[in-house]
Chains A and B, each alone.
Chain A
Amino acid sequence: MRFAFTDDQLAFRDAVRDLLTRECPPGVVRAAWSNADGRSGGAWKALGEMGALGVMVAEEHGGLGLTELDAVLLAEEAGRAALPDPFVEHTLAGAPLVATEEAASGAVTVTAASGRDLVPWADSADVLVVGGVVVERGTAAVDPRPAVDGARRLAAVEVAGAPPLRTLDPTERDLTADRLALGYAAQLVGLAARMLDTTVAYVSERRQFGVPIGSFQALKHHLADSRIALEFAAPLVYRAAYSLAHRDPDAPVHVSMAKAQASDAAELVARHALQCHGAIGYSDEHDLHMWMKRAWALAAAGGDASWHRERVARAIL
């Protein structure tokens, strides 16, 4: 028994964190709100060059041939940076199915969606995994919709007339949905951790009544609750990654536990973060709203907390 990541996995995570600190500062997220495709540009390219986008693509197709367990911490970093790119949709879900060198390097962007989800970044991706088929974007009908998170573009996609590059079997479909849910859960943990860090820093600086507002017990307790929520969400996410990587028959239930808990945790942390910031957090000139809106989007994507709780209920009751 050892419930911890290997040094290699942690080193890969640190490298991705460093890269995103450089290539995806808040200014890049903000720019994606108003640029043409809602993407980072540079960060995506750099992630591709370091191999992060092909972690789960088989080695013979130019990937690293690793598993969900190696990808989960990278997804968490993508969340922490609020990376405006389909990192999870591509790296955990789409690229392993497309399995080409171009997908492994990110030269071709694959996006994916499950259930009734709108498809993220569908209008800028090259390949779409939607409704059990893999199609070229150009062959599908892509209908962009206004999204709350301006740096996570959404579109309704119709694949009825598109010639499938591939049709997923039911097992692949389920696995893809679980990988998306896992990836979103990991991103939510990263987003929440970042919102908590930012808020701790803010309340330690900001002064009212002659003292830092972080010395007020009401705010301390909001932030303590945020920290507790994270502490008891992250382990479920890591366990789900392990179970998927080992093809554990309970993996779908483990994914649901992770997604339910991470969604709730991120929503809670976002609420407390906003409250602790006061009006400045409510302003779109401050960065917090970009993290908060990503958290809302991902909490609802890939099955929301209730959907996943229901799946747990079906398994245990």
Chain B
Amino acid sequence: MDLTWSPAEEAFRVEVRAWLEANVPAEPLPSGDTREGFARHLEWERRLFDARWSVVSWPEAYGGREASLWEWLIFEEEYYRAGAPQRVTQNGIFLLAPTLFEFGTPAQQDRFLRPMASGEETWCQGWSEPDAGSDLAGISSRAVRDDEAGGWRLRGQKTWTTRGAFCTHLFGLFRTDPEAQRHRGLTYFLVPLDTPGVTVRGFGRLDGDEGFAEVFFDDAFVPDEMVLGGVGEGWSVAMATTGSERGLTLRSPGRFLATAERLAALYAERGAGASDPGLRHAVAQARIDAEAYALQTLSTVTRIAEGERPGAESSLTKVFWSELDVRLHDTARRLLGPDSALDGPWTKGWQFALSGPIYAGTNEIQRNVIAERVLGLPRK
């Protein structure tokens, strides 16, 4: 066991920190879940990209630095510590990209990765439908073969699409073989949202920002080269993406360590006036949990570095970080007391934290997965 960083890693941290100190906007940007805020965030993304910080772990050819997973963790830690803007490009960079690296053709990688890294093209996820949420294999949106045109015609509807109204592209699952069993017959498509026949309607999330969208497909044509992985292979390709979402890449520990630190600062300001003496321990416990998450991540990264491939354990992680996020923000609300009725960063964060146990596979579903696939309990 060695819990120290190498000189090269320390130097990397210094470089990241210096750049962030010089570049992070002094005033927080307007919410990235609004049209104006999204555009402002994309300017920030462009700055990150130009300085080659937007995708540190990627190959240089696509704008990265070929950083190790360790360096990526350091980057994330510094990013959140600096209070840098939310990554509105996350669904592309953190969720689609790992799938593209694994399943994409070289042509697809060359076509999509660089504009994704620069924020020129932005991606949203098209899994959920009005009648298929947790039961994702029950989706009914279809892709009908058009041999003559050499592609597929998409029909149906996606919903809850995060930032769908602002993004340029969508990735998601469509049913290519209605005769096949539920999990079979699904295909993973990459869809430009300006394709004729695609209509997007944005609508408000819990905090009122237009962060949700529904996307309608009315015989929208996509050519064959927009299939990611094989036709009929969509389920296993999609599972690779959702694994990233639950696990390592979407919610790095830096985020919760930084929130736990801000919570301690809030306690310093407000703790004396708080009505609940238990809050002191809630703040301490939040720090303990954030460190537990960071350490568990270090052990996961060690395993990956030594050639293992974590599987269903990512469900343990997803439940833990999402519920930790709720506790962190709930503690902040209780510290704020009556001021928690005011719209502010903590109350905004609280509203967002509440979605963590719902998106990326609800925590009930994750607990089923843990019970059945980690502990081996009988399905029926």
CB within 8 Å for A231 and B281 given contacts A212-B378, A221-B364, A223-B371: no
**In contact, B302 and A200 (Cβ under 8 angstroms):** no
Taken residue by residue from 204 to 224, chain A's Cβ proximity to chain B (1 for < 8 Å, 0 otherwise) reads as 100000011011010111011
| Interface band, chain A | 35 or more
Report yes or no: B288 in contact with A260, Cβ–Cβ below 8 A: yes
- Complex CA–CA separation, A266 to B271 (angstroms): 30
Q: A214-B378, A221-B371 are in contact. Are A4 and B1 (CB under 8 A)?
A: yes
Check B280–A317 contact: CB distance below 8 A. Answer: yes
Query: Contact at A1–B9, with CB atoms within 8 Å?
Result: yes
Q: In this complex, which of B288, B296, B370, B376 has the most chain A Cβ atoms within 10 angstroms of its Cβ? A: B288
Tell me, in angstroms, the Cα distance from A3 to B378 when the chains sit together. Answer: 33
Stretch at the interface among A48-56, A157-165, A286-294, A306-314: A306-314
B-chain residues with CB within 8 Å of residue A232 when the two chains form the complex: 289, 292-293, 296, 316, 320
- Interface residue A242 (Cβ < 8 Å from any Cβ of B): yes
**In the complex, A3 Cα to B319 Cα: how many Å?**
22
In the complex, identify which listed stretch (A36-44, A84-92, A103-111, A233-241) lies at the interface while the others stay far away.
A233-241
> Chain B contacts of A204 at CB under 8 A?
376-378
Which residue in A200, A228, A257 is a CB contact (below 8 Å) of B288?
A: A257
A306's nearest neighbour on chain B, judged by CB, is B281
A1 touches B5 (CB 8 A): yes
**Contact (Cβ within 8 A) B292 A3:** no
Which residues of B have CB within 8 Å of A6?
1
Q: How many residues of B contact A (CB 8 A)?
A: 50
Q: Which residue of B lies closest to A254 (CB)?
A: B291
B residues in contact with A217, CB < 8 Å: 368
Bound-state Cα–Cα, A212 to B9, Å: 51
Q: Is the CB of B379 within 8 A of A215?
A: yes
Q: Is A22 an interface position by the 8 A CB rule?
A: no
CB distance from A250 to the nearest CB of B (A): 11
Beta-carbon nearest neighbor of B287 in chain A: A316
Sample of 28 A–B contacts (CB below 8 Å): A1-B2, A1-B5, A1-B301, A3-B295, A69-B1, A200-B377, A204-B376, A220-B368, A223-B371, A223-B375, A224-B371, A228-B320, A231-B316, A232-B293, A232-B320, A235-B296, A238-B1, A238-B295, A239-B3, A242-B1, A257-B291, A306-B281, A309-B284, A310-B280, A310-B281, A312-B288, A313-B281, A317-B284
Known: A3-B299, A313-B280, A317-B284. 17 other contacts (CB 8 A): A1-B2, A1-B9, A1-B70, A1-B301, A2-B1, A3-B1, A214-B378, A220-B367, A223-B375, A224-B370, A227-B370, A232-B293, A236-B288, A238-B1, A257-B287, A260-B288, A316-B264
